[in-house]
């Protein structure tokens, strides 16, 4: 299967640069797989497509201001992007330019209030850093104080309100990117969904390189995903499994939630509680075990995310829907509009 099979043309003007004032004012394209039907709605219409007994599964990860400016002992500048926490203030990172972060080197952050010791390199060309804060300070607080939100490269506008790159239900810090399908929800919309008999379950997957790493191979099957950490609380697993046993649907909000549930599901589709690392790569041919419907955004051409959506709804149907979205001038990518696949 060729990576080019997941390409499409997108005018640059349709790449959303800023979020809408109202989160749930975004448009919602609804795809019904069984009928190959496409509807054009708004995100606030989502409750009308849910049924009592369904369970809506959210990824409650919280984005950290993971983009840090570092200074070498020579005075040279390095940009560090925190990717994956390894425990004990040790992180896997990306360094730009990488040649300026050599093993054994110590980088300075926050005007010397924090340093990062370069411990090693990663298999994908990143760096492993151990951070040490000055006496009386802690690493997390300094990162929050001096780091910048790691908005994607295609967003050129400055993000004046960093909270708009967080979901309203974000609580478990650790992501280098937002689970953007969740950005459309408001507390009021979630309350309405619950009042109408839909259960809400929360899982965690800390978004790292596995989600946004570009595909550089020619064949889809040759791409390797980077591992990301996930957790499924026992309460969430119970809600999901009970809903399915009673005939309800499991509706995953975002591709990261899909990856979490499919990684945690056994052969019969039961979601097992626990925590671990997943490098699951979902592309056409994959048989879904735990997910019945999906809320997602519009994804980059030739990305692992559009491959996952194509696995769920069929490549031709998805690419036809994307062409319609371009014609109807939907807004694309992180701050763009949403899609519901039933």
pLDDT by residue (tens digit) across 3-30?
A: 999 999 999 999 999 999 999 999 999 9
**Confidence tier at 210 by pLDDT (50, 70, 90):** low
pLDDT digits (tens, 9 = 90+) for 65-98: 999 999 998 999 999 999 988 888 999 999 998 7
- The domains of the chain are located at 3-63+161-341, 67-146
The pLDDT assigned to 123 comes to: 83
**Confidence tier at 158 by pLDDT (50, 70, 90):** confident
pLDDT at residue 182 is higher than 90? yes
125 vs 28: which has the higher pLDDT: 28
Please, are residues 152 and 212 in contact by the beta-carbon 8 Å criterion? Answer: yes
Please, are residues 303 and 214 in contact by the beta-carbon 8 Å criterion? Answer: yes
pLDDT at residue 209 is higher than 80? no
The pLDDT assigned to 226 comes to: 86
For the residues 120-148, what does the mean pLDDT come to?
A: 92
Backbone angles phi, psi at 130, to 5 degrees: -105, 120
pLDDT digits (tens, 9 = 90+) for 24-50: 999 999 999 999 999 999 999 999 999
Q: Spell out the residues 6+ positions from residue 323 whose beta carbon is closer than 8 angstroms to its own.
A: 8
The pLDDT assigned to 131 comes to: 96
pLDDT digits (tens, 9 = 90+) for 280-292: 999 999 999 999 9
Specify the residue for token string 């049924």.
51
pLDDT at residue 108 is higher than 90? yes
The pLDDT assigned to 202 comes to: 98
Fold of 3-63+161-341: QueA-like (3.40.1780)
Cα–Cα distance, 100 to 79 (Å, whole number): 10
Secondary structure class of 180 (helix, strand, coil): helix
Please report which residue ranges of 207-289 form alpha helices under DSSP H. Answer: 209-212, 234-245, 255-264
pTM beyond 0.85, yes or no: yes
Residue range 67-146, CATH number: 2.40.10.240
pLDDT at residue 213 is higher than 90? no
For the residues 267-276, what does the mean pLDDT come to?
A: 97
Please, are residues 116 and 240 in contact by the beta-carbon 8 Å criterion? Answer: no
Residue 342 CA, distance from chain mean position: 20
pLDDT at residue 168 is higher than 90? yes
Cα–Cα distance, 185 to 173 (Å, whole number): 19
pLDDT digits (tens, 9 = 90+) for 217-255: 999 999 999 889 999 999 999 999 999 999 999 999 999
Average pLDDT in the chain: 95
């Amino acid at each position: 299967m060729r990576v080019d099979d997941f390409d499409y043309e997108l005018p640059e003007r349709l790449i959303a640069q800023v979020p809408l004032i109202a989160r749930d004012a975004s448009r919602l394209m609804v795809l019904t797989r069984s009928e190959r039907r496409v509807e054009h709605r708004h995100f606030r219409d989502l409750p009308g497509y849910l049924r009592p007994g369904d369970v809506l599964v959210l990824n409650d990860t919280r984005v950290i201001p993971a983009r840090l400016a570092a200074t070498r002992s020579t005075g040279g500048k390095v940009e560090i992007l925190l990717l994956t926490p390894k425990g004990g203030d040790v992180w896997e990172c990306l360094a730009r330019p990488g040649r300026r972060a050599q093993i054994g080197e110590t980088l300075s952050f926050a005007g010397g209030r924090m340093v990062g010791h370069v411990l090693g390199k990663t298999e994908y060309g990143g760096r492993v850093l151990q951070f040490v804060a000055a006496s009386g300070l802690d690493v997390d607080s300094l990162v929050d104080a001096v780091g910048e939100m790691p908005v994607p490269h295609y967003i050129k506008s400055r993000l004046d309100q960093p909270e708009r790159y967080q979901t309203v239900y974000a609580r478990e810090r650790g992501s280098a990117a937002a689970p953007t399908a969740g950005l459309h929800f408001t507390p009021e919309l979630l309350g309405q969904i619950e009042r109408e008999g839909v259960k809400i379950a929360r899982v965690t997957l800390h978004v790292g390189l596995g989600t946004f790493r570009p595909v550089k191979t020619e064949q889809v099957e040759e791409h390797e995903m980077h591992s990301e950490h996930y957790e499924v609380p026992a309460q969430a697993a119970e809600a999901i499994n009970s809903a399915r046993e009673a005939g309800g649907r499991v509706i995953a909000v975002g591709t990261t939630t899909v990856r979490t549930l499919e990684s945690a599901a056994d052969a019969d589709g039961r979601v097992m509680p626990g925590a671990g690392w997943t490098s699951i790569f979902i592309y056409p041919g994959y048989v879904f075990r735990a997910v019945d419907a999906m809320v997602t955004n519009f994804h980059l051409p030739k990305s692992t995310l559009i491959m996952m959506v194509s696995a769920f709804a069929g490549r031709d149907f998805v690419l036809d829907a994307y062409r319609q979205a371009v014609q109807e001038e939907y807004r694309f990518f992180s701050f763009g509009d949403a899609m519901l696949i039933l």
